[in-house]
A and B are shown apart, each in its own frame.
Chain A
Amino acid sequence: MEHAHALGPILTARAGYLWLIPLFPLVGAFINFVFGWRFERSGRKRLVHVVGVGAMALAFAVAVCAFLQLRALPDEHRFLQDTLWNMFTAGRVTVDLGFALDPLSMMMVLIITFIGMLIHVFSIGYMWDDEAKAYWRFFGWLNLFVFSMLLLVMGDNFVLMFFGWEGVGLCSYGLISFYYTDREKAAAGMKAFVVNRFGDFGFLAGLLLLFWGLGGAWAASGKAHGPTYEPEAALHATAGASTAAESQALAPTVEVGEGQVVKVGPTLNFRELRDQVVIEKTGIAEHLKDQKVWGFALLALIGICLFVGAMGKSAQLPLYVWLPDAMAGPTPVSALIHAATMVTAGVYMVARLNFIFALSPAAMAWVAFVGALTAIFAASIGFFQYDIKKVLAYSTVSQLGFMFIGVGVGAYWAGAYHLLTHAFFKATLFLGSGSVILGCHHEQDMRKMGGLKKYMPITRWTYLIACWAIAGFPWASGFYSKDEILWKAFTSEHLALFGVPTPWLGPAIYLVGIIAATGTSFYMFRSYFMTFTGEYRGGAGHAHEHGEDPHASVAAAHHADPHGHHDAHPQPDPAHGHVHAAHGAFPHVGAAAHDAHGAHGGHGAHGGLPHESPWTITLVLSVLAAGAVLVSLLGIPAAWTGHEPLLEEWLKPALTAEVAFAEKPHSWEFLFQAIGVGAGAVGFLFAWLLYKDGKSTVPAALKERFLGIWTVVYNKYYVDELYDLVVIRPSLAWSRALSWFDGHILDWLVNAVGAVTRGFARIDGLIDTYVVDGAVNAVAVLTAEGGKSLRRLQTGRVQTYLYGALAGGLAVILLNFLIH
């Protein structure tokens, strides 16, 4: 693959209709939130899903139009821009409400709208008879979520992306806590939101560092690579610009050839950022590489901080803890959010900012390292889980780890490709598990399933195809994406830890990845065998959705269940009635009619056999499974066909970072592919041996033997407990301390001020009474006394008056003489 060294600025084509894509889901959400309850209550429940699915379909249609338009453009111009208006301007930085589609975001939009639409259809069947009677609320949240996700991927600047970032966090909260009357489910939603917040903090820190770095201390470093700028005063000036045009005029620019001008300096717009950094003539990339913050390279810090955001959103170590708990939400939610879209936002962000990451080998190494660690860690937890959704959750975390390995080592398109394939097969798996859960009357524990291939054939085949894909066998897409990632990991030359290049890191990551792949295959097929093969172990149809706490789950073990630890709970069927009440769990829906779509059979009572799901569900499963296979066509490696895989070619304009990989001959590549397949096969073999038909006693024996290790892994390595101890409790203690402070000290201060004021008031009162009134009274008294004294002059006797007059007269005469 050659990268033209003379990369020019992206040329954009205007597409005035892009705003319609997020608009339809937004309008759908609005209608459902505001009027949905009325529809449901007045018997027009269909309208809710018509609005929801309709909005998605329309959005998908517009997305396809955009895709066709984008395809028609030549490579270097593949960029659609639709700027609605200028949101705000600050100095030279403008933030517009603008949507942009380049190949990467186009891929994401298609995934979101297509798979989103399918999941909406699935939800019709799944949620129709839901006990919560909030069909409208579900669709409202789903549409709102899609809107936020579209905003995230289509926003042409960081602000919109962050808006969408937060929006998906909010909608994820709304959906996970959908059954909010259950405390634990509500808590799970809160956990997701709070853990995401931690990540968002890192994201913001990274963003601000980048912003600052671009403006940077040009003068202080003394070096200005490339053309000299009017000093950093120009970059730092905050002279007002009230319109976008003025703002543009203020910005320093660099001419990069043939009259093309690139704006430099702090910016929030992706295209401008990419142009500045990628085009060498601007000197920005060199400048960024030189800057250090407190001794650390700025770019490494930026990369790591941004990756912290991705860690939160995409559930990497150590911020993955919310994802398993998020299984408390209804299954379509898990499929949409935790398989295809929200969790991939982090990968999308890293891929979008590939040019920044590529400048810092340390950041890339960090990303890849954490991804690898997460992959194997999550895979190991998935070995022993019993709740089918939990298995899938940990699988998601593990696969996300793979994606981050991909973007971490520099194989951005591979990471994106794995994102695409994962969206398909994970959605299939989740929806399949949803179908299974529905069919088993809301049973989620795999130990109570088994032999479902007789009852739910379509579900079984789609699930199997998806397992084939995730395990990485050829002709299903997972093989291509995973192998590409691992191959690139092995051949990467660009990684460095703490500034020291580490060529051994790539192969080390490869090794970890292979082990994780083996594990993936193992636990996925374990879940398949436990669920679909053997005999049906489910008895009287329990309906509880709780299975995350293993010691609380009701284990009505029937058939050869060797896990005798759960005897603490009563076994026989009639007692299940109590147990439900004791757990306050979600009651069984079975009695209610599920037959709006008429494909349920024999459902009136407890203890019914599992059954296939309605056509809305099975159709979706089929489409997705087919997609999982067909998507492999996009990524057939160059070693096989001799030219670039279609997707890589498609994504090239967007993923321009040039990362060094060792050139190895194709034979090596075939070898590694074979090793990958082998790893998958090994996992399959173990699963087949241990879990096929549920007959083997080896798992039980192994468990007895290694009970300690089993317990630790089963309890997710006690990470949640650790967090509770280290983070939650200190926070609560701190908040209690602050509350005490507020109550005792601040309130005391306030009261003291009040008391002082009252004291002053009293003094004022006294002053008023004695001083002011005293003065007034004194004047009166003085006047009266003066009058009383002077009255005595009025004796009424003429002689006295005469005396006075005479004295006065004499005085005048005297004075007259004296003055002369």
Chain B
Amino acid sequence: MLHVGLHHFLVLGALLFSLGVLTVATRRNAVGVLMGVELILNGANVNFVAFNHWVTGGISGQVFALFVIVLAAAEAAVGLAIVLALFQTFRSIDVRTADTMRE
């Protein structure tokens, strides 16, 4: 069972994903939330590549993972821009302060 196969990578991916979700859900710092998002995307990437290696062959999975990286970068940029805007509005990067949409 210790010989590494697809399943190990899938479990790893699941763990990464879960930890990423945990980070997003529990962090108060807005930047921390973005870090969580990166973790999620990485988890997904790991899955993609693993499947590419063991199931589909070719390079489709890798291409897809590349696209994910591109978009992750773009999204990180925009995300940080939003954090700046958030700071400008609320003078704090605690996500809990941005709750004017409550009730």
Residues of A within 8 Å of B102, CB to CB, are 794-797
Do the beta carbons of A794 and B103 come within 8 Å of each other? yes
Measured between C-beta atoms, what is the minimum distance from A813 to chain B in Å? 12
B83-96 vs A, CB cutoff 8 Å, 1 = contact: the mask equals 00000000000011
Do the beta carbons of B99 and A799 come within 8 Å of each other? no
Check: B6 CB closer than 8 A to any chain A CB.
Answer: no
Residues of A within 8 Å of B100, CB to CB, are 796
B19-49 vs A, CB cutoff 8 Å, 1 = contact: the mask equals 0010011110000010000000000000000
In chain A between 770 and 820, which residues have their CB closer than 8 angstroms to a CB of chain B? Answer: 791-792, 794-799, 802-803, 806
Measured between C-beta atoms, what is the minimum distance from B68 to chain A in Å? 20
Do the beta carbons of A799 and B33 come within 8 Å of each other? yes
CA distance A373 to B24 in the complex (A): 132
Check: B71 CB closer than 8 A to any chain A CB.
Answer: no
In chain B between 53 and 69, which residues have their CB closer than 8 angstroms to a CB of chain A? Answer: none
In chain A between 642 and 657, which residues have their CB closer than 8 angstroms to a CB of chain B? Answer: none
Residues of A within 8 Å of B74, CB to CB, are none
Do the beta carbons of A799 and B21 come within 8 Å of each other? no
Residues of B within 8 Å of A794, CB to CB, are 101-103
Question: Among the listed A791, A798, A799, A803, which residue makes an inter-chain contact with B103, where contact means beta carbons less than 8 Å apart?
Answer: A791
Question: Among the listed B25, B99, B101, B103, which residue makes an inter-chain contact with A802, where contact means beta carbons less than 8 Å apart?
Answer: B25
Do the beta carbons of B99 and A795 come within 8 Å of each other? yes
Check: B77 CB closer than 8 A to any chain A CB.
Answer: no
Measured between C-beta atoms, what is the minimum distance from B38 to chain A in Å? 15
Question: Among the listed A791, A795, A802, which residue makes an inter-chain contact with B24, where contact means beta carbons less than 8 Å apart?
Answer: A802
A383-420 vs B, CB cutoff 8 Å, 1 = contact: the mask equals 00000000000000000000000000000000000000
Do the beta carbons of B101 and A796 come within 8 Å of each other? yes
CA distance A792 to B25 in the complex (A): 18
Measured between C-beta atoms, what is the minimum distance from A791 to chain B in Å? 5
Count residues of chain B with CB under 8 A from any CB of chain A. Answer: 14
Do the beta carbons of B98 and A806 come within 8 Å of each other? no
Question: Among the listed A792, A798, A803, A806, which residue makes an inter-chain contact with B95, where contact means beta carbons less than 8 Å apart?
Answer: A798
Given contacts A802-B24, A802-B25, A803-B25, contact A797 B98 (CB under 8 A): yes
Measured between C-beta atoms, what is the minimum distance from A625 to chain B in Å? 124
Given contacts A802-B24, A803-B25, A806-B25, contact A797 B33 (CB under 8 A): no
Do the beta carbons of A796 and B98 come within 8 Å of each other? yes
CA distance A797 to B27 in the complex (A): 12
Question: Among the listed B24, B27, B99, which residue makes an inter-chain contact with A796, where contact means beta carbons less than 8 Å apart?
Answer: B99
CA distance A798 to B27 in the complex (A): 11
Measured between C-beta atoms, what is the minimum distance from B45 to chain A in Å? 20
Residues of B within 8 Å of A795, CB to CB, are 99, 102
Question: Among the listed B21, B96, B101, B103, which residue makes an inter-chain contact with A806, where contact means beta carbons less than 8 Å apart?
Answer: B21
Measured between C-beta atoms, what is the minimum distance from B103 to chain A in Å? 5
| Residue picked from B21, B24, B95, B102, most chain A C-beta under 10 Å | B102
CA distance A792 to B102 in the complex (A): 8
Residues of A within 8 Å of B33, CB to CB, are 799
CA distance A363 to B46 in the complex (A): 133
Do the beta carbons of B26 and A799 come within 8 Å of each other? yes
A89-106 vs B, CB cutoff 8 Å, 1 = contact: the mask equals 000000000000000000
CA distance A212 to B24 in the complex (A): 109
Residues of A within 8 Å of B27, CB to CB, are 799
CA distance A811 to B100 in the complex (A): 29
In the complex, the chain B residue whose C-beta lies closest to that of A799 is B25
In the complex, the chain A residue whose C-beta lies closest to that of B24 is A802
Residues of B within 8 Å of A791, CB to CB, are 103
Measured between C-beta atoms, what is the minimum distance from B94 to chain A in Å? 10
CA distance A803 to B95 in the complex (A): 14
Residues of B within 8 Å of A799, CB to CB, are 24-27, 33, 95-96
Residues of A within 8 Å of B99, CB to CB, are 795-797
CA distance A803 to B102 in the complex (A): 16
Do the beta carbons of A797 and B96 come within 8 Å of each other? yes
Residues of A within 8 Å of B24, CB to CB, are 799, 802
In chain A between 632 and 665, which residues have their CB closer than 8 angstroms to a CB of chain B? Answer: none
Residues of B within 8 Å of A806, CB to CB, are 21, 25
Measured between C-beta atoms, what is the minimum distance from A795 to chain B in Å? 5
Task: Offer 6 A-B interface pairs, CB within 8 angstroms, sorted by A.
Answer: A795-B102, A796-B98, A796-B100, A796-B101, A799-B33, A799-B96
The list of the 4 closest CB pairs from A to B, nearest first, reads A796-B99, A796-B102, A796-B101, A791-B103
Given contacts A797-B102, A799-B27, 16 further A-B contacts (CB under 8 A): A794-B103, A795-B99, A795-B102, A796-B98, A796-B99, A796-B100, A796-B102, A796-B103, A797-B95, A797-B99, A798-B95, A799-B24, A799-B25, A799-B33, A799-B96, A803-B25
Q: What is A's interface to B at a CB cutoff of 8 Å? A: 791-792, 794-799, 802-803, 806
